[in-house]
A and B are shown apart, each in its own frame.
Chain A
Amino acid sequence: MAATDLERFSNAESEPRSLSLGGHVGFDSLPDQLVSKSVTQGFSFNILCVGETGIGKSTLMNTLFNTTFETEEASHHEECVRLRPQTYDLQESNVQLKLTIVDAVGFGDQINKDESYRPIVDYIDAQFENYLQEELKIRRSLFDYHDTRIHVCLYFITPTGHSLKSLDLVTMKKLDSKVNIIPIIAKADTISKSELHKFKIKIMGELVSNGVQIYQFPTDDEAVAEINAVMNAHLPFAVVGSTEEVKVGNKLVRARQYPWGVVQVENENHCDFVKLREMLIRVNMEDLREQTHSRHYELYRRCKLEEMGFQDSDGDSQPFSLQETYEAKRKEFLTELQRKEEEMRQMFVNKVKETELELKEKERELHEKFEHLKRIHQEEKRKVEEKRRELEEETNAFNRRKAAVEALQAQALHATLQQPLRKDKDKKN
């Protein structure tokens, strides 16, 4: 019933007509309402810093945000790459920013760097997963949710002057579909201007030829299209970071003091720090967040759900709703469960039967043996009895013969005794 009503409504107006207003209505304040709402909500921004140990990641963060984030120096002898997220609350004017800086500690130090990229990719996926779980909850509060998805990855390139390192290429390829990558040339005060130009061209060439998609500053918004296009040509930015202040002229500026000169961080002639700050914070921060949500997160979500078996449309190209799919999945799952239970029960019963049979078999055998033994025993007993009787007979026979012999002997003796007496008697007579 409800479905047909909806259909009627959607087919009624095939295309919206545009009308002109007679006076000022006032819905042009919508953006302002949105802005004031988001200001009260506060913003969150997550930066991932990937680069070799000691390349200047923490110093650059300190310089960018003009504050000191307490980070301890990492050692070169970490067993494997691990990610260290730290969250800070910053405030400027009336805008609150929840900034999370994630450091890839131990990156590039191991002798075997085959698996270096894995902890980073796993961390990014984990943040996406958390958000997805929150989204799929029954009672969810996306309003309050602390978004930990990485909005930008600053990849620090070592200023060798030749080209990218092999590790850089491998890692960036793994990350380019999951996060916005902005490559930076770190410690750029070691490359002279001409070398820098060649280096940048070489790096961009290698990235393009290997199909690595780095973040391009958006050129579709008129207000910032021009500046963004210009900045796109300056990628990767060659930056120098410093939190120390040096007196130049009559001002104190952030700089590095060498015996041969002073490298000023905010001097556009010396390095691209100002450009990076412009692009990253002042112009494109919101775009970075949007891209993360609409491109990278959606890609992750799609892959994950497809893995779980969800589809947008079935064979007849009728759109499935998530609910139906979910129901179907659930039924399937339950039937599967039941089937498995049956199987297990069957197996159990079979096993019991088998064991019973076995036991019976064994019992029978034992019984047979017992019988057998008994028979043998009886047999033996009989034989022994027979023998005993024979023995008795023989002893009897023997006794009789003995008695007979004795009797005979006694007679004989008696006879002989009698004879001499008779002789004597005869003589006497």
Chain B
Amino acid sequence: MSTGLRYKSKLATPAEDKQDIDKQYVGFATLPNQVHRKSVKKGFDFTLMVAGESGLGKSTLVHSLFLTDLYKDRKLLSAEERISQTVEILKHTVDIEEKGVKLKLTIVDTPGFGDAVNNSECWKPITDYVDQQFEQYFRDESGLNRKNIQDNRVHCCLYFISPFGHGLRPVDVGFMKALHEKVNIVPLIAKADCLVPSEIRKLKERIREEIDKFGIHVYQFPECDSDEDEDFKQQDRELKESAPFAVIGSNTVVEAKGQRVRGRLYPWGIVEVENQAHCDFVKLRNMLIRTHMHDLKDVTCDVHYENYRAHCIQQMTSKLTQDNRMESPIPILPLPTPDAETEKLIRMKDEELRRMQEMLQKMKQQMQDQ
């Protein structure tokens, strides 16, 4: 909401002083408007991954964030089934719309993470999945027809830390270290309604210390420009200070002080999910959806994907120089420039296209014969 208001107020000035500045007015100040229109027409997509042990309230939080139930008919495993469970990757995609803006939201769920008795390398399926999406995008980007590229790369990973401990556990550290160079990690303290305010402060400090100690690179909020208003700067400061967010989720609506609010009903009181004094849910929602969603996508594209791409290309060229003696149908020059790579890919795509055209021809003929 605040982003929309911000630039609209800037545009308000030309219209008022139209007569005076008419001669000097070029008109490219309407660019933001045009971008807005085009993007509304194109629609947005966002892929969010949620990870953490079972029972930390991940699905409830997703439900509270996006106000839709993505997990209908979910089957929860019993304890004995989970003893040697492997991690699965489940994707749920929904199309949601708000005020004409369409969002294709994909939630990637990781059931089974940290559930088995032996959790060695339980984050491997997840890193494989993230790498797979990068690879897919890399291939698509280097292809001939780039009109309809589907961006399935994971833009943000919400990692749920258990509030019942004293800080990060070995499995938390292992997961974050395996993924911090591939995905934007936003750590959260789950089920924060079991902690009194002093305990929350202590736990946040502890977690921040341990993140530094273990050298984990979580998602950093970008610095706000120096010409932003004081209000915004204050908000930004508060945001940075309250990381990691202590959240509570709820998919039930209860009656509190005459109002119907989303919350949890206890014999000793009602926890309101959207009450800033109770938990950081509102901060998380604002950050994730209302202010930083695009920044998350940008960091994924500009930093994580580029790292992957550079790494991938380096590997491929080093492999080529090794296999130089091998007979290859396409004459490949062992140059460490990306041109050779894309040429090879182009030729591969060429062949594929030819094959597909042949198949189409055959089908046409069959139809004609009939």
Contact = CB atoms under 8 A, between A and B. Distances in A.
Nearest to A264: B268
A110 B170 contact: yes
Interface string A196-223: 0000000000100010000000000000
A170 B191 contact: no
A109 B197 CA distance: 25
A316 to B, nearest CB: 46
A189 interface: yes
Interface string B268-299: 11111001011000000000000000000000
B165 A53 contact: yes
Contacts of A73: 166
Contacts of A168: 79
Interface in B171-212: 171, 174, 191, 193-194, 196-197
Contact of A260 (B164, B174, B278): B278
A111 B171 contact: yes
Contacts of A261: 266, 268-270
Contacts of B265: 192-193
Interface string A147-165: 0000000000011111111
Contact of A164 (B79, B171, B271): B79
A260 B269 contact: yes
A114 B197 contact: no
A76 B203 CA distance: 13
Nearest to B254: A192
A169 B191 contact: no
B271 A187 contact: no
A187 B192 CA distance: 12
A256 interface: yes
Contacts of A71: none
Contacts of A90: none
A245 to B, nearest CB: 14
A111 B174 CA distance: 9
Contact of A165 (B82, B118, B266): B82
A210 B80 contact: yes
A304 B272 CA distance: 58
Q: Most B CB atoms within 10 A — which of A73, A186, A210, A263?
A: A263
B264 interface: yes
Nearest to A187: B194
B31 to A, nearest CB: 45
A52 interface: yes
B164 A158 contact: yes
A109 B170 contact: yes
A260 B272 contact: yes
Contact of B196 (A116, A165, A257, A269): A257
Given A112-B118, A114-B117, A187-B164, A259 B55 contact: no
B166 A166 contact: no
B90 interface: no
Contact of A170 (B55, B83, B167): B83
Nearest to A156: B164
B346 to A, nearest CB: 45
A158 B164 CA distance: 8
Nearest to A262: B268
A259 B116 CA distance: 36
A75 B268 contact: no
Interface in B309-353: none
B164 A113 contact: no
B156 interface: no
A269 B54 contact: no
Contacts of A257: 196
Interface string A261-275: 111100001100000
Nearest to A108: B169
Contact of A269 (B194, B267, B272): B267
Interface in A36-88: 52-56, 73-77
A114 B118 contact: yes
Contacts of B145: none
B109 interface: no
Given A169-B80, A261-B266, A111 B170 contact: yes
A75 B166 contact: yes
B168 interface: yes
Interface string B49-71: 00001111000000000000000
A73 B199 CA distance: 14
Nearest to B268: A261
Contact of A258 (B120, B122, B167, B193): B193
Contacts of A193: 265-267
B119 interface: yes
Interface string B241-283: 0000000000000000000000011111111100101100000
Interface in A263-313: 263-264, 269-270
Given A76-B165, A192-B264, A260 B271 contact: yes
Nearest to A242: B196
Contact of B117 (A113, A260, A263, A269): A113
A167 interface: yes
A77 B267 contact: no
Pick the most buried of A77, A190, A210: most chain B CB atoms within 10 A of its CB. Answer: A190
B119 A113 contact: yes
A367 B99 CA distance: 115
Contact of A190 (B118, B193, B268): B193
A355 B84 CA distance: 60
The winner among B118, B163, B268 for most chain A CB atoms within 10 A is B268
Given A165-B115, A167-B117, A259-B197, A77 B170 contact: yes
B268 A169 contact: no
B368 interface: no
B76 interface: yes
A256 B171 CA distance: 30
B266 A189 contact: yes
B47 interface: no
B24 interface: no
A110 B119 CA distance: 9
B277 A169 contact: no
Interface string A362-374: 0000000000000
Given A54-B164, A158-B55, A76 B118 contact: no
Interface in A172-190: 186-187, 189-190
B79 A206 contact: yes
Q: Which of B76, B84, B120, B267 has the most CB of A within 10 A?
A: B267
B165 A162 contact: no
A54 B191 contact: no
A167 B55 CA distance: 14
B85 interface: yes
24 contacts: A55-B164, A75-B166, A76-B167, A76-B169, A109-B169, A110-B170, A111-B118, A111-B122, A111-B174, A158-B164, A160-B55, A161-B55, A165-B115, A169-B79, A170-B83, A189-B193, A189-B268, A192-B264, A193-B267, A259-B278, A261-B268, A262-B268, A262-B269, A263-B268
Given A161-B55, A165-B82, A260-B272, 15 more contacts: A52-B165, A54-B165, A76-B168, A76-B170, A112-B118, A160-B55, A160-B56, A163-B76, A166-B115, A169-B80, A189-B193, A258-B196, A260-B269, A261-B268, A270-B268
Q: 7 closest Cβ contacts across the A-B interface? A: A160-B55, A261-B269, A190-B194, A261-B268, A54-B165, A260-B269, A164-B79
